[in-house]
Amino acid sequence: MHGGSCCEGEVKKAPTISVVGSLNVDLTFRVPRFPVPGETLTASQAMTAFGGKGANQAVAAARAGARVRMIGCLGNDEYGERYREHLAGEGIDHAGVLAGAGPTGAAFITVDGEGENTIVVHPGANHELTVAKMSELTDLFTESAVALLQLECPLDAVAGAAEVAKDAGATVILNPSPWDPESMERNIPIDILIVNEREAEALPLGSEMGCMPQGCEAVIVTRGARSTWVITEGRTQEVEPPVVTPVDTVGAGDTFAGVFALAHAEGLGLLDAVRLANAAAALATLRPGAQEAMPARGEIEEMLSRGVRQ
Ligand code: RIB
């Protein structure tokens, strides 16, 4: 069924989302506080897990109910092979995940006693994704409602993916993380931007909120525990996230982006999509890890039904 509400007995088809982005192996250490230069600290816990902003967002969207096609580049190594099996286990189509010559991307993460984190990334094979490869993968954008992009892959490839996705009729959602100011100077055809507060400060939003980057229909500004801003032409609205006590914030932003993309693809309005994404992101902070902590749709709906104050 296209458009309108779903009728009794009719099964709503899950929307398809194409995620173009990074796949990393994360090595995470839990520390009481972040080390200072020259200092050696003892971690209370060490964990190796599948990560990368692109794959994290793909997993978040898939667990929330999307059919996901992942496009990226893994190393020609054991981690690459294991990552493909993992994606298949999450029900993610990985035909667009290429095999590079270099090692699989890696991230070194510290999480402190407050659940805050620092991340150092070695891109490895993620940086082998090229604009030429993107134009060979156009089929992977056909009939996708949304293309979801971040900036852990080369900017040329991201811009190329956005063009291909737009031509295929998808809504292009960019989460410009890690921040690269050049991304705003490239005329990438972005429909919706998802940024955190620090990234928002660097955006050409003008002196008054509501002055949008060219061509963009909405800018969503996530602000941790504080209200999320939903900025559209001439208007800023606020959505309160659920109140939680985080144990680990790694991947919370990725959870928000993946679930927002799914909600938008399902046809939810901006504010409702942000509510769903906020609930998912809050849940993702309650458990250690990025993908390990991401909730299924049922848990998200359940948290939403309990309201903002838990
Ligand atoms: O956003 C969290 C992610 O950033 C981690 O999984 C790490 O791989 C880095 O890409």
Q: Verify whether ligand 1 is closer than 6 Å to residue 25 (CB atom).
A: no
pLDDT given for residue 2 in this prediction = 36
Output the CA–CA distances (angstroms, integers) from residue 253 to 31, 35, 130, 224, 248, in the order listed. 21, 24, 25, 9, 12
Ranges 1-15, 131-145, 243-257, 293-307: which has the least confidence = 1-15
| C-beta 22 within 6 A of ligand 1 | yes
- Over residues 187-198, the mean pLDDT reads 95
Amino acid at 180: D
Using a 6 Å cutoff on CB, does residue 251 contact ligand 1? yes
Task: Name 83's Cβ contacts closer than 8 Å, sequence gap at least 6.
Answer: 23, 25, 50, 55, 74, 97, 104
- Taking Cα atoms as reference points, which of 236, 238, 244 lies closest to residue 279? 244
pLDDT higher than threshold 80 for residue 175: yes
Query: How far is residue 267's CA from residue 18's CA, in Å, rounded to a whole number?
Result: 16
Ligand 1 centroid from CA 136, angstroms: 27
Alpha carbon of 251 to those of 145, 184, 258, 302: distances in Å?
23, 24, 10, 20
Q: Which atom of ligand 1 is nearest to the CA of 290?
A: 6
Q: Rounded distance, CA 113 to CA 10, Å?
A: 48
* Chain segment 77-119, per-residue pLDDT in tens: 999 999 999 999 999 999 999 999 999 999 999 999 998 999 9
The predicted structure's pLDDT at residue 206? 53
Contact 262, 279 (CB under 8 A): no
Is the CB of 183 within 6 Å of ligand 1?
no
Nearest residue (by CA) to ligand 1, atom 7, is: 52
Type of residue numbered 213: P
| Atom number in ligand 1 closest to CA 25 | 8
pLDDT for 210 equals 46
Q: Partners of 119 in the beta sheet?
A: 109
- In tens, the pLDDT along 24-37 reads 999 999 999 999 99
180 is catalytic: no
pTM beyond 0.85: the answer is yes
Q: Say which of 156, 248, 254, 272 is annotated catalytic.
A: 254
Q: Is 186 exposed, middle or buried (0-12, 13-18, 19+ CB in 10 A)?
A: middle
The preferred substitution site among 29, 152, 249, 285 for testing ligand 1, maximizing ligand atoms within 8 Å of CB, is 152
Instruction: Say which amino acid occupies 152.
Output: E
Work out whether strand 192-196 and strand 171-174 pair parallel, antiparallel, or are unpaired: parallel
51 CA from centroid of ligand 1 (Å): 5
Pocket lining: 152 vs ligand 1, CB cutoff 6 Å: yes
